[in-house]
Amino acid sequence: MKMQRAIPMLPVRHMPTSVGFYAKLGFAVEKRNDEWRWAMLVLDECRLMVDESINQPPDAPRTSVIYLYPDDIFAYHRDLRRRGLDVPSISHPFYGMSEFRIEDPDGNRLWIGQRTGS
């Protein structure tokens, strides 16, 4: 048996707001069902789902972290700032990455990084 893939499903308060936020990150809508309040988003080989129906209770704090690996962290960082996102400066933590961290409108955490050395 071989695992084919994993796709995170994030609980959100308002699917259209989340779709708009992730569009600024470069994600496009692959599938969307407004009746279900659910969408599948895609950016190159990455996919994630946003879903209002699993947001129980709606005011619960988020604890998920998704780590995104662009092939050029510096170009992606500049692009996000051009798109109007308030992103922090790139840091270089002890574990050999160049990265920055943001949250989506629902508090789901996104860490975005690229390995800096071997």
pLDDT tops 70 at residue 9: yes
User: Which SS3 state, helix, strand or coil, does residue 62 take?
Assistant: coil
Give 76-108 pLDDT, tens digit per residue.
999 999 999 999 999 998 888 999 999 999 888
The class level of CATH for 9-115 reads: alpha beta
pTM of the model: 0.85
- In this prediction, residue 5 carries a pLDDT of 84
Q: Residue 79's closest CA among 21, 22, 17, 25?
A: 25
pLDDT tops 60 at residue 118: no
- In this prediction, residue 87 carries a pLDDT of 97
Q: Which of 2-11, 21-30, 86-95 has the lowest mean pLDDT?
A: 2-11
Query: Which residue ranges make up each domain of the chain?
Result: 9-115
Q: Residue 70's closest CA among 112, 16, 8, 106?
A: 112
